[in-house]
Structures are given as C-alpha cells and as structure tokens.
A and B are shown apart, each in its own frame.
Chain A
Amino acid sequence: MAEMERDEKVSAGYRALGAEEPPRALDEAILAASHRSPSRWRVPLSIAALLVLAVGVMLRMLPQRPDAESVALAPQVMETPRPVASAPAPEQQKPAALATEGRMRKEVAAKPASRESIAADAARSTPAPAAAGAAAETGVGAGKLAAAPLTPEAWLERIAELRKQNRKREADESLAEFRKRYPDYRIPQALR
C-alpha cells in the first residue's frame, strides 16, 4: 500500500503545539529501573532457589510423620502397665534394628511387652487404625507394633482371633469401634 503523504501544514501545526518531554524525575526512575531489572540469570536462579526450598521443606516434613503417629500412639504405649517380659521373643529383640523408622518404634522397642498384653490393650482401646494396626501386628512381634495402619481386613481378622480366644467383650468392643470407623464396610456374618 502506498504511504500517505504527510500533510505538511497539519504536521507543522502539530509540531508547533509543543514538544513536551517526560519530567526528569520520571526519566531517572525508569533508567534506574532498567539497571535494577533482573539479569538473565536471575529468573533461572530464582526457580532453582524455589526448587531447593521445596525439596528442603519436603525433606523436613518426611521425618515428622512417624512423630505424628507416635503422638497418637503414645497414650497406648503409656497405658501398658505390663511388666517387661523377662525373656522377650526373638521378634521382640529385633525392634532395635527397626527403630530408625521413627521415634514411636524406639519407644516400643525400649519397652517390649508380651503379645497378650499389647494385643489386649490395643483391642481394648483401638483408638485409631494405626493403633489398631499396632495391636494386630503384635501378633507377630512387638517390633512391628508401629508398622503401617491396620487394614479393615486385618482388623476383622484380629477380632475373629479374639473371638476364638473367647475374649468376647474385647472382640465386641473392637467390632463396635470398627463399625464406627468403617460404617459402610460389610462385616462378615460370622463376626456379627
């Protein structure tokens, strides 16, 4: 497209309107900002710093999980007034090796209890799946007391075991607790 010719008279009139310039302070502010502006490395560096921070936060959070569980379990451990077994089973001597997974395990390892006492306490209180899991796991050994939370299936198996041992009241209480926690779970007829 051909360029339009400039209208010289209008242009001259327009020029005569004035040649305003920005205030000096504005010039200085903008030029100062241009010097302050991020270098080409600043954005990548800030991203890297953010990543380092995120990883650091994650690493700090990971060891805190066992602590939280130990808080939940602490009353149960404290409530165990059973005497320390004079001759702990081989499994009960293992917790020392497992203790690195969290303070909770250390506490349990420091006070190995008999299978029955811990299982009974757990069955009595069943404060949370994690704790219930601990109780069930004691059937294998105290070293696993603080292992992963008890699954509903394992919990029910534990209740069945209590029934077999004719510990009806404990089984009923545990079942009641189970129903509270898993109201929609279909409980086998044999346990009802």
Chain B
Amino acid sequence: MLAYRQGDAGAFETLYVRHKGPLYRFVLRSVKVHALAEELYQEIWMRVIEARGRYSVQAKFTTWLYTIAHHRITDHWRKRGLQLVEADDADPPAPRAHEPEPRAEGRQDLQRLAAALAALPELQRETFLLHEESGMTLAEIAAATGATEEAAKSRLRYALAKLREAMGDG
C-alpha cells in the first residue's frame, strides 16, 4: 500500500488480486444479495483508493481493508434501520456428540450450513466470515470490527457452534 501511495499502480493491482476473492465473499455473504454486494465491494475499494494518501503503517493492510469494509457494511445496515447487537447472552449450544441423529451427507449438509450461516446474527456472521476469509487473528478481527478480543472470540464461538449444529455435528 505504501508503494501504491508513492504512485506505484502495480502495487495496488498486487493487493487487489490478493484480497479480491476473500473480500468479495465476505461482503456477499454478509449482505446475501449479489447486486448489493457488488456495489458495496466497489465502494470499499474506492475508499481504499481515495484514502491511500492517508494510509500509514499502523496496522496490517488486511486489517485496514476489512475495517473499511466493516464500516461500509455497518453503514448499510444502519441505513436499512438495522441495529447490530449481540444476539446471544446464553452459552453457545453444547456439543451433542452422544446423541445419535440422522446425518445427511453432501449437498444437504451444505444447504443447511448455508442456511445457518445466513441466519446467524450479523455480528456473529461477520466474525465468522472474517475468521474464514481474511486470515486475520482474533485480535485483528477485534480491531477491524471495533470490538474487544473477548467479544470477537465470543461471537466466533457462538457462530461455530450454530454452524456445527446445522451440519449435524453439534
């Protein structure tokens, strides 16, 4: 990013190629609608481009990028009148390893996983997606989303428990 700030357009292309897939999936699975995801995705990169003059090495580029993405998606939810709140106060579902249950394999598992992911509260889904797509540590996820590490860890734990359960492995 520093090279790009100095005018090296090729440096931006390198960054873009590295991050475009994970960021796009993060946005797409956050908002679930392709057209909207494309719009937000483009806006995020435009903000990166516009802000390059202000970029300083205070965090990894990845953290900075997903911070911008987090803010843009949060703005989107707010405009739609949604408030992002912690959805679970109780402990996450306990494993049910000893309960025999019918296991659907393959496609059905994935459909249930996709449905469970879409049904997650926004903050839990965001944390899970960042964990899966960005490769950031919990501390970095916390920094990007303006949460404490403890909160980020809790959100991820809840999300994983629900997804695990949806896959019949709870």
Which residues of A come within 8 Å of B, CB atoms? Answer: 1, 3-4, 6-7, 9-11, 13-14, 16-17, 19-23, 26-27, 29-31, 33-35, 37-40, 43
Contact = CB atoms under 8 A, between A and B. Distances in A.
A40 B153 contact: no
Contacts of A38: 53
A14 B49 CA distance: 30
19 contacts: A4-B153, A4-B157, A4-B160, A9-B164, A9-B169, A10-B163, A10-B167, A13-B109, A14-B113, A14-B163, A17-B117, A19-B25, A20-B21, A31-B12, A34-B4, A34-B9, A34-B13, A38-B53, A40-B7
Interface residues of B, number: 42
Nearest to B28: A20
Contact of B138 (A4, A19, A33): A4
A10 B164 contact: yes
Interface of B: 4-7, 9, 12-13, 16, 20-21, 24-25, 28, 38, 41-42, 45-46, 49-50, 52-53, 109-110, 113-114, 117, 131-132, 137-139, 149-150, 153, 156-157, 160, 163-164, 167, 169
A173 B88 CA distance: 86
B138 A30 contact: no
B65 to A, nearest CB: 13
A172 B120 CA distance: 88
Contact of A1 (B28, B46, B52, B149): B149
A6 B113 CA distance: 16
Interface SS of chain B: helix, strand, loop or mixed? helix
A130 B133 CA distance: 75
Nearest to A19: B21
Given A14-B113, A30-B45, 10 more contacts: A1-B139, A9-B167, A14-B117, A19-B21, A22-B41, A23-B38, A27-B20, A34-B12, A37-B49, A39-B7
A3 B149 CA distance: 10
Contacts of A10: 113, 160, 163-164, 167
Contacts of B24: 20-22
Nearest to A15: B132
Nearest to A13: B113
